[in-house]
Amino acid sequence: MDQATHTDVPDGDYEAVIEEFDITKSRKTGEPLLIWTFRIATGPCAGKTLKKFRILKDAWANWIREEIDNCGIQLDDVYHIHQHAPKLIGKPVRIARRTRNQFANIYITSPRARQARETREEELVT
């Protein structure tokens, strides 16, 4: 499950920097837990942080691989993510915060996804 730690950051798209990336164990299951901390870099929420939590398991492997790829790092095996963790710190990324059913999710979006979304939004306006 993903969650934002600061409810004062509204849903939206943000330019951010990966401030921390930790791998620990879930207290509940003992499975590896990825914890991302993003610091928003621009706009009215600049300086605020959001956290993203993701259990490292096979069911999430494709999502994790895509998220790391969206950070500009190629990852063959998600279970070797610890080898790439230092490369993530300080990386500028585009994130999206979305709330659904009272749960906030943080997505690391790719430039292609952002361009496609902006094109769709432009088409709706015209």
Q: What CATH number should be reported for the domain holding residue 36? A: 2.40.50
Q: Does some domain include residue 1?
A: no
Note whether residue 5 is domain-resident.
no
pLDDT band at 123 (very low <50, low <70, confident <90, very high): low
Q: Which of 72, 74, 54, 51 is nearest to 64 (CA)?
A: 54
Question: Where residue 126 falls among pLDDT bands split at 50, 70, 90?
Answer: low
Statement: residue 3 has pLDDT above 50: no
2 assigned to some structural domain: no
Token reading at 45: 């929420």
Number of domains in the chain: 1
Residue 75: per-residue pLDDT: 80
Q: Is residue 6 part of a domain?
A: no
Range of the domain at 55: 12-125
pLDDT score of 121: 55
Whether residue 66 is contained in a domain is answered as yes
Q: Which two tokens stand for residue 19?
A: 């401030």
CB atoms near residue 85 (< 10 Å): 16
3 within a domain of the structure (yes/no): no
The pLDDT tens digits for 65-111 are 888 888 888 888 888 888 888 999 999 999 999 999 988 999 999 76
Residue 21, pLDDT score? 94
What is the pTM assigned to this prediction? Answer: 0.79
7 inside domain: no
Is 71 among the domain residues? yes
The residues pairing with 55 across neighbouring beta strands, listed in sequence order, are 33
- Per-residue pLDDT at 124: 62
The sign one gets for the Cα dihedral 92, 94, 13, 35 is: negative
* Greater pLDDT, 42 or 113: 42
